[in-house]
Amino acid sequence: MLTTLPKNNYNETMEKLINRHELALALWEAIKEPLRLLVLAALPVLITYLSQLNYQWAVVGTLLLRLIDSILHEVGKATENKNLTKGLTRF
């Protein structure tokens, strides 16, 4: 059986849910950049590890991938293309 909340409780409950949702969105936005760098750094580190290259090449590879990611994001914003705004990592 469904029960209805009094109007004032409903408003308070909805405000709490909205605040939690906004907090979750803010946390996700804050976490996305370090996750992007982690995803972009994994491939160059793996390549340098497997090919016995100097790890400085992993840094160069990560910077190049980050540059490409940023370019795709900016082009996506300029052209209003939602797929491109996500860059290489898609988040």
Do 88 and 65 touch, CB atoms closer than 8 A?
A: yes
Between residues 6 and 53, the one the model is more confident about: 53
Do 51 and 43 touch, CB atoms closer than 8 A?
A: no
**For helices 56-79 and 7-51, angle between their N-to-C axes, nearest 10 degrees:** 140
Between residues 21 and 6, the one the model is more confident about: 21
The domain limits of the chain are: 7-85
Question: Cα dihedral sign for 12, 18, 23, 26?
Answer: negative
Do 61 and 43 touch, CB atoms closer than 8 A?
A: yes
Q: Using one digit for the tens of pLDDT, what is the confidence trace for 31-68?
A: 988 888 888 888 888 888 888 888 888 888 889 988 99
% residues pLDDT > 70 (the chain)? 85
Q: Work out the angle at residue 29's Cα, subtended by the Cα atoms of residues 23 and 32, and round it to the nearest 5 degrees.
A: 135
Residues 6+ apart with CB under 8 A from 70: 87
